[in-house]
């Protein structure tokens, strides 16, 4: 049996999604729906992987005062719970979804301080679990207290253990990770995050291809860039492709990027090539656009989307 995928989320969150007919700043807005879900990038990826039937272990740092929402999610989906508990409450992220535009406004609240002992305990658990060739995802932002060294200690440990490392973060955390010299099997920024990292606009596929070459030179095996309504770009050792978007009016974009990462990992975990991994990533993300909350639709719906996705090769 293949080794389970490890998802590592140092800064999880309770996602509180509020749906509005339209968002009017400075006015009273009446919600049509509100829901709370255990979330955070790595937790969302684990949730989608479990829906697809891939074995997954969730590691991370949960506030002990409101861990019940995460425990319920893990139990319901058969996700192995290997998260460390820390004093206090896991933070809340508020996501305001406007139905008229489809836009989502994020308000991310601060989380609890992480004791050094909890971070070391998480690293020790990773050291014991990670195996050669195993897929391991480090995902999301970093809580206060862990931002100086960033992901470097975790990535170095995973590399020493021979794991295949996927990284899904942005801003300073991504810049630090790329600078630490650890080879990465996969990163999946969106276009804005990659432009911020490189300090220049990337409006065309040629620009993205050139940016990917620079990242390959830094030790990143495969680069996937989420392009929103324009689909997704991939540059891998097997080639580069643009996946055309499928026509869909999104209910919400919340979690679509995490679903894409889950699709990429699910395909690679199953032994599929990078081209098929891109198809799975886009299919998972598209399926997620039509749903609120942490769940994917049935596999039959995703399989139908897989058949509809077209890829265009990008010349070297």
Query: In this predicted model, what pLDDT tens digit does every residue of 4-50 receive, in sequence order?
Result: 999 999 999 998 989 899 999 999 999 998 888 899 999 999 999 99
Radius of gyration of the chain (CA): 18
**Nearest C-alpha neighbor of 278 from the set 196, 206, 222, 208:** 222
Region 76-90: mean pLDDT is 95
What are the φ/ψ torsions at residue 97 (nearest 5 degrees)? -105, 120
Do 175 and 181 contact (CB within 8 A), yes or no?
no
Do 275 and 311 contact (CB within 8 A), yes or no?
yes
| C-alpha separations of 287 from 71, 164, 221, 297 in Å | 25, 26, 27, 7
What lies within 8 Å, CB to CB, of 71 at 6+ separation is: 81
d(CA 297, CA 26): 36
Task: Provide the token pair at 204.
Answer: 């065309």
d(CA 168, CA 10): 12
**What size, in residues, is the chain?**
316
Query: Looking at residue 294, what is its pLDDT?
Result: 74
Do 13 and 90 contact (CB within 8 A), yes or no?
yes
Query: Looking at residue 148, what is its pLDDT?
Result: 78
Query: In this predicted model, what pLDDT tens digit does every residue of 172-214 receive, in sequence order?
Result: 999 999 999 999 999 999 999 999 999 999 999 999 999 999 9
Task: Provide the token pair at 110.
Answer: 């601060």
Active site residues: 258
Query: Looking at residue 146, what is its pLDDT?
Result: 82
Region 45-62: mean pLDDT is 97
Share of residues in the chain with pLDDT > 90 (%): 79
Task: Provide the token pair at 86.
Answer: 């820390």
Task: Provide the token pair at 35.
Answer: 């829901």
Query: In this predicted model, what pLDDT tens digit does every residue of 283-298 receive, in sequence order?
Result: 999 998 888 777 899 9
Residue 97 has pLDDT above 90, yes or no: no
- Choose the weakest-confidence range: 18-22, 81-85, 129-133, 145-149: 145-149
Residue where the block lists tokens 């389970």: 4
Neighbours of 179 (CB within 10 A): 11
**Nearest C-alpha neighbor of 10 from the set 108, 156, 100, 111:** 111
- What predicted TM-score, i.e. pTM, was given to this entire model? 0.94
d(CA 308, CA 201): 30
d(CA 28, CA 45): 34
Q: Pairing relation of β-strands 84-86 and 184-187?
A: unpaired
Query: In this predicted model, what pLDDT tens digit does every residue of 295-310 receive, in sequence order?
Result: 899 999 999 999 999 9
């Amino acid at each position: 049996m293949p080794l389970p995928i490890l998802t590592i989320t140092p800064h999880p969150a309770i996602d509180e999604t509020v749906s509005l007919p339209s968002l009017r700043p400075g006015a009273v807005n009446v919600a049509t729906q509100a829901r709370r879900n255990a979330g955070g990038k790595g937790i969302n990826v684990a949730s989608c992987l479990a829906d697809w039937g891939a074995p997954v272990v969730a590691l991370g740092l949960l506030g002990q005062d409101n861990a019940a929402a995460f425990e319920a999610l893990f139990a319901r989906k058969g996700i192995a719970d290997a998260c460390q508990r820390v004093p206090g409450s896991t933070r809340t992220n508020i996501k305001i979804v406007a139905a008229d535009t489809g836009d989502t406004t994020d308000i991310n609240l601060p989380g609890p301080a992480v004791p050094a002992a909890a971070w070391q305990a998480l690293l020790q658990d990773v050291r014991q679990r990670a195996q050669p060739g195993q897929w391991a995802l480090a995902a999301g932002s970093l809580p206060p207290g862990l931002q100086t060294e960033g992901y470097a200690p975790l990535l170095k440990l995973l590399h020493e253990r021979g794991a295949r490392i996927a990284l899904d973060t942005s801003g300073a955390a991504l810049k630090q990770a790329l600078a630490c010299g650890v080879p990465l099997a996969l990163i999946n920024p969106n276009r804005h995050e990659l432009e911020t990292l490189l300090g220049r606009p990337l409006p065309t596929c040629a620009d993205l291809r050139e940016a990917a070459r620079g990242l390959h030179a830094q030790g990143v095996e495969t680069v996937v860039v989420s392009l929103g309504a324009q689909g997704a770009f991939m540059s891998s050792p097997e080639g580069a492709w643009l996946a055309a978007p499928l026509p869909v009016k999104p209910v919400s974009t919340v979690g679509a990027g995490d679903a894409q990462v889950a699709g990429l990992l699910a395909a690679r975990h199953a032994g599929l090539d990078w081209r098929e991994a891109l198809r799975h990533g886009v299919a998972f993300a598209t399926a997620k656009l039509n749903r609120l909350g942490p769940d994917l639709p049935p596999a039959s719906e995703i399989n139908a989307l897989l058949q509809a996705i077209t890829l265009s090769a990008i010349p070297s």
